[in-house]
Amino acid sequence: MSARQALANLAYVDTMEEVALSSPVTESEQENPVFDQIRERVVSLLERQIVGAPRTPVAKDDVYLCQRGMATIWAMSQWLPKWRTGTAVLLGYSFHSTSHVLAEYYEKPYKFFELGDEYDEVEEFVRTETQQGRPVQALFCEFPSNPLLLTPDLVRLREIASRYDTLLVVDDTISSFSNVDVLGEDRADILWSSLTKSFSGYSDCMGGSVVLNPCSKHYQAFKALYTTEYFNDLYVDDALVLEANSRDYFARTTVLNRNGYALASYLQSCAESSSSTVSKVWYPPFLPRHKHYAARMRPANDELTPGYGCLMTFEFDTMEAHIAFHEEIGKCVTIGPHLAGHITLVSFAGLFNISKS
The predicted-structure confidence for 190-238, as pLDDT tens digits, reads as follows 999 999 999 999 989 999 999 999 999 999 999 999 999 998 999 999 9
pLDDT at 186 over 90: no
Q: What pLDDT is recorded for position 22? A: 66
Helices (H), 132-248: 154-163, 219-229, 236-245
Q: What is the pLDDT of residues 71-107, one digit of tens each?
A: 888 888 888 889 998 899 999 888 877 877 777 777 6
**170-205 b/e with 16+ CB inside 10 Å = b?**
bbbbbbbbbbbbbbbeebbbbbbbbbbbbbbbbbeb
Q: What pLDDT is recorded for position 302? A: 94
Nearest CA to 191 out of 233, 222, 160 is that of: 222
pLDDT band at 160 (very low <50, low <70, confident <90, very high): very high
Question: Which whole number is the average pLDDT over 305-328?
Answer: 94
pLDDT > 70: what percent of the chain?
94
pLDDT at 30 over 60: no
pLDDT at 332 over 80: yes
249 within 8 A of 197, measured Cβ to Cβ? no
Q: What predicted TM-score, i.e. pTM, was given to this entire model? A: 0.92
When mean pLDDT is compared across 109-113, 139-143, 278-282, the lowest value belongs to 109-113
